[in-house]
Amino acid sequence: MEKNNKQNLFDEISSLIEQSRRAIYTQVSNTTILLFWEIGQCINRDIPSNKRADYGKQVVMILSEQLTEKYGRSFDLRNLRRMMQFAEQFPNFQMVSALPTPLTWSHFIEILPIKTYEGKLFYLKAEFEQKIHTILTEVRNRLERRNLLSQEKN
């Protein structure tokens, strides 16, 4: 096998590995977003806003300490409050499960302070379109590389 063919094979396999890694990352990210939404739902359900505010703060603080000790800093008090906000602002599971695909928890943290639903959707749409554009560009580049490979073989 000549050097150019070896490099093309290496590039193609590298591309496959990178694509698989991105798919794994996306799946983990999606699962994390849904987990954080469900945690927020559980907390909001078990500590209704009509209970004493001090009691609710105490429960969330203790829960955070326990979860952080067992599972790490992703469950610190600040992040638990974000999960609660997220679940409150996006109460519909079907909508939440449809949104994440190219988005991360960081994207959702960015939109929590946005006051209007329209503003949140505008931000998510812009992020989604940017991610989709990146993905489509990568796919096009990969197809072009494959086309070049097949042309070289002929």
pLDDT at 49: 64
Q: Which of 41, 14, 22 is nearest to 101 (CA)?
A: 22
Give CA–CA dist 148/153, Å, rounded. Answer: 9
Distances (CA, A) of 127 to 27, 37, 102, 130: 18, 19, 9, 5
Reported as a pLDDT band with limits 50, 70 and 90, residue 94 is confident
pLDDT at 38: 96
Give CA–CA dist 93/132, Å, rounded. Answer: 23
pLDDT digits (tens, 9 = 90+) for 35-77: 999 999 999 998 876 556 677 889 999 999 999 999 999 999 9
Share of the chain above pLDDT 90, in %: 36
Residue of higher predicted confidence among 79 and 97: 79
* pLDDT (average), residues 5-11: 81
Is residue 110 over pLDDT 80? yes
pLDDT at 2: 66
